[in-house]
Structure 1
Amino acid sequence: MNASTSRVDPKLLELLVCPLTKGRLSYNAATGELISEKAKLAYPVRDGIPIMLISEAREIKD
């Protein structure tokens, strides 16, 4: 998958929040994930679509 297919629309990013904490998300272009620092979860982005399911998120280790 290349960067253009995994990018998230910046306007969409402003609207999305973590489904667990309702906190802000940041986009990590290197991993193609939306990061919730508060929940320590990384939500995948597939074909430009954020997968906002807690069950699909990757736990971020310290």
Structure 2
Amino acid sequence: MVKFGRILLKEGINKKILEILVCPLSKQPLRLCEKTNSLISDAIGVSYPIVDGIPRLVPTDGKIIETDDASHSHCPVDLPGK
């Protein structure tokens, strides 16, 4: 488990790990927003922070995204595999 933590801290969110992570509430895929350093659940409009390279996927740490902020204009979509 320590090795896993080092991968997150040194390289940010690994793309393979991002493919596995899902929203703890909706169980839908998350989108990485590098601009805000968070993981976005587009399904329910919640943003989860990434602190020191570790995603905080506790529902109480999530922040509801306002409808104006939910557009991808402030945070470009990072497609998997790119």
Q: TM-score range by the shorter chain?
A: 0.7 to 0.9
Structure 2 vs 1, CA of residues 45 and 6 (structure 1 numbering), >3 Å: closer, same or farther?
farther
SS in 2 for 1:20: coil
Higher relative contact order (CA 8 A, sep 6+): 1
Give the TM-score taking structure 2 as reference length: 0.67
One-letter amino acid of the structure 2 residue matched with residue 7 of structure 1: G
Residue 11 in 1 paired to residue 16 in 2? yes
Q: Give 4+ residue runs of structure 1 displaced > 4 Å after superposition.
A: none
Aligned length: 59
Structure 2 vs 1, CA of residues 5 and 57 (structure 1 numbering), >3 Å: closer, same or farther?
farther
List alignment gaps of at least 5 residues for structure 2: 1-8, 68-82
Give the Å deviation of 1:7. 2.5
List alignment gaps of at least 5 residues for structure 1: none
Structure 2 vs 1, CA of residues 5 and 29 (structure 1 numbering), >3 Å: closer, same or farther?
farther
Give the TM-score taking structure 1 as reference length: 0.87
The structure with more strand, counted as a fraction of residues:
1
> Structure 1, residues 1-50: CA drift from partner, whole Å, max 9, x if none?
xxx86831111101000000000100000000000011110000011100
Residue 46 of structure 1 corresponds to 51
Residue 38 of structure 2 corresponds to 33
CA RMSD of aligned residues (A): 1.7
Whether the aligned pair in 2 keeps the contact of 1:7 and 1:29 (CA below 8 Å) is: no
